[in-house]
Amino acid sequence: MRAIVFATGYAPALTSLNERHDSVSLPLLDRPFLQHVLENLVDQGVTGFDFTLSRKPEFFESLFGTGTRWGSSFRYHLARDPEFPYRAARAIEVYFKQNPDEPVLVGHGDRLPLLRLAELRAGAGEIVMWYEAATDEAPKWTGWALVPARLLAEFPVQTDETGLEEFLRNQPAAPQLQTVAACLDFRTYEGILKSHWDAVAKVIPNLLVSGREVEPGIWLSRNVSLHPTAQLKAPVYIGENCRIEAGVQLGPQAMIGQNSVLDTHCSVTGSAVLPGSFVGEGLELNEVIVDKNRLVSIRFGVGVTVADDFMLGTLAQNPITSWLQRTLSQLTGLALLLLSWPLLLLTALVLKIVRRGKPVWYVTEVVKLPAAGPELDWKTFKLVSFTPDRRGTGWFSDLFLRLLPGLLNIAKGEAGFVGVQPRTKEELAGLPTDWQALLRQSKPGFITDCMVRYGNHPTPDEQFSSETFYAASATWWQDLRLMAGFVGKLFLPSLPTERENERVSERG
Amino acid sequence: MPLTTEEMNGVLVVTIHEKALDASSVKQFKTDMTPVLEHAKLVIFDLSQLEFVDSSGLGAILSCLRQLTGKGGDLKLCGMTKPVRALFELVRMHRIFDILNTREEALHTIRR
């Protein structure tokens, strides 16, 4: 049997954690939730998967590969809108043309119900839908169903999960409704925590977890440094390479993700600490999810970024190459500033005379990149320039009016020679989400890919493609090429940009 | 730039017979695409032979999409090689374009 898994990561209730994770890539104990879904289904005899991804698809494509590791075959599909992923089902239907009545398992990758596929009895072409056991509310659909392949072509396109449920329930042949005993659900903060305690309690049997249960409900992974005075109350899970210091109290209900450090006398109860986090001395965590320096309260459903590293922080190290690159850029900026300060003063003097009363300096508060967290947490710096235009004004004026005074920012390490156009908080916040997310991982600079390729008046599409391309794939080699391109324009201004090339050919 | 076009059930499938769509080839690509985009509304780009795309290439494909959607048409991309697909995913272009694995998938899903 083949499974179609919609794993777009759409979870509006997880906004506070959305920056680094989505509902399918968030870890359940030691691995991304979607991997548990996949492994559980492989264990039940599913032999092929069609994953529909949207947010960071490259992460799962590289993690899962072709599926040979699980003796399975994987295909990946991309959904433009994570909220409406069902259009992909129409493309997948192509592969079932020969056998349109073949039963296909369809489900959502942010839930793992206790399906017992081996015990399933369904007639040819019958639809089966799995529901959670009713408590005080109406039974909730788990998001999983078995459908004949031909139905994929009719899946509603512009609809959410409720629409899909309605579509399946309203088929001419009434579906068989089954109740599951348990369902792990990663769409809400409460669901994430409950899924952890259910997983540790083995509510879903055969869930693959690294580490071993040293006492009932106490799980330790390899290479954990646990101080003898630390107290553990089940259920507790501690991931690989964690360090638990003296006097720490863990549990009941504590999940510590791999590569985390818990400093002395802190306590974690009813909470999950995601991988690579640091919990400071004496901190008491109760009903929260900690993701590095981000703290999400389950009771209030809100997240805050903790600025003080001694309380909560990240243990991820910056690669040495990026540190070297930054330092080299700073030193070069400083050296050039020392060499060119007479020219800087002379330019200021000339502008003072030419501009007659108009400002010579322009100082703009722009966002320091990379910028993590919500807009409120973005740090800014003062960008110094002889012109209010931050996009570029012309090759020589760029050199004298932007790059020369910008050496101050480069020497201070606030910007690089090459980067993306510096933007104010308002400008950055006003960009489309994906564009903004990519730029926030980049660095600001005075020479941009966009300016070298398209000159100073790019169209929005040109600016989008060149900025996102630079943000996603910048290397020191690319920076050097762009610098060479800029210098080339200074000394060989006859070299046309791509835009100028097009204008010439249009005229021709 | 070597391009071939095939009409299949009212959909124009354009195959790009080039290894790179970058600053050096994008001008020719745009020139060659101009007459194609003037007459077609539903277009599929088969990118199975393309191994490298840079920001100019991305911009050029984006501009084709804008032109087609501007006149009520549609553009789908299919058959991407791994490096090209990885780039499209990294720059989040899959949130703008419909990217399909094969030509069959693209033909099956394009709205007519």
Contact A502 B59 (CB under 8 A): no
Contact A468 B66 (CB under 8 A): no
Q: Are A466 and A454 in contact (CB under 8 A)?
A: yes
Structure tokens at A263: 């400093």
A26-41 pLDDT, tens digit each: 999 999 999 999 999 9
Domain at B26, CATH number: 3.30.750.24
A320-368 pLDDT, tens digit each: 777 788 888 889 989 999 998 898 899 888 888 888 878 888 899 999 9
Task: Find where tokens 């009016």 sit.
Answer: A401
Identity of the residue numbered A462: E
| CA-to-CA separations, A333 to A136, A177, A345, A396, A405, in angstroms, rounded | 66, 68, 17, 18, 11
Residue spans of alpha helices (H) in A185-319: 189-200
Q: Are A46 and A105 in contact (CB under 8 A)?
A: yes
- Chain B residues whose CB is inside 8 A of the A77 CB are 100-101
Structure tokens at A327: 């330092």
Question: Which residue in B56, B66, B105 is closest to A94 by CB distance?
Answer: B105
Q: Where in chain A is CATH 3.90.550.10?
A: 2-185
User: Chain B: residue nearest A433 by CA?
Assistant: B92
Specify the higher pLDDT residue, A145 or A301: A145
Identity of the residue numbered A474: A
Helix (H) or strand (E) holding A171: none
Residue A74 has pLDDT above 90, yes or no: yes
Q: Are A217 and A201 in contact (CB under 8 A)?
A: yes
Contact B94 A57 (CB under 8 A): yes
- Chain A residues whose CB is inside 8 A of the B93 CB are 468
What is d(CA A277, CA A275) in angstroms, rounded to the nearest whole number? 6
- Chain B residues whose CB is inside 8 A of the A481 CB are none
B70-103 pLDDT, tens digit each: 999 999 999 999 999 999 999 999 999 999 999 9
Residue spans of alpha helices (H) in chain B: 26-39, 55-70, 82-90, 103-109
Counting residues of chain B whose pLDDT is more than 70, the rounded percentage is 98
A230-281 pLDDT, tens digit each: 999 999 999 999 999 999 999 899 999 999 999 999 999 999 999 999 999 9
- Chain A residues whose CB is inside 8 A of the B86 CB are 58, 61
Identity of the residue numbered B23: A
Total domains, chain B:
1
Residue A505 has pLDDT above 60, yes or no: no
Question: Which residue in B62, B97, B106 is closest to A461 by CB distance?
Answer: B62
Best of A461, A466, A478 to substitute, by most chain B Cβ atoms within 10 angstroms, is A461
| CA-to-CA separations, A115 to A43, A145, A428, in angstroms, rounded | 11, 10, 45
Residue A371: band (very low, low, confident or very high) from pLDDT cuts 50, 70, 90: confident
Distance in angstroms between the alpha carbons of the first and the last residue of chain A: 59
- Chain B residues whose CB is inside 8 A of the A461 CB are 59, 62-63, 66
Residue closest to A445 by CA, chosen among A501, A408, A403: A403
- Chain B residues whose CB is inside 8 A of the A450 CB are 55
Residue A312: band (very low, low, confident or very high) from pLDDT cuts 50, 70, 90: low
Contact B66 A91 (CB under 8 A): no
**Domain over A210-314 is classified CATH 2.160.10.10:** yes
| CA-to-CA separations, A323 to A327, A372, A472, A484, in angstroms, rounded | 6, 18, 18, 22
Average pLDDT over residues B35-52: 93
Query: In terms of residue numbers, what domain contains B43?
Result: 3-109
pLDDT score, position A508:
43
- Chain B residues whose CB is inside 8 A of the A465 CB are 55-56, 58-59, 62, 91
Chain A with chain B: Cβ pairs closer than 8 A: 92
Give contacts of B 17-46 with A, CB under 8 A: 23, 26-27, 30-31
Q: Where in chain A is CATH 2.160.10.10?
A: 210-314
Helix (H) or strand (E) holding A73: strand A73-78
Interface pTM, i.e. ipTM: 0.92
pLDDT score, position A507:
46
Cβ contacts of A295 within 8 Å, gap of 6 or more: A288, A289, A303, A304, A305, A306, A312
Contact status of A437 with chain B (Cβ, < 8 Å): yes
Residue A253, Ramachandran bin (φ over 0: left; ψ between -120 and 50: alpha; else beta) = left
Give contacts of A 93-122 with B, CB under 8 A: 93-94
- Chain B residues whose CB is inside 8 A of the A468 CB are 55, 58, 91-93
User: Chain A: residue nearest B95 by CA?
Assistant: A80
User: For chain A, percent helix, then strand, then coil, each to nearest 5?
Assistant: 35, 25, 40
Q: Which CATH class is domain A2-185?
A: alpha beta
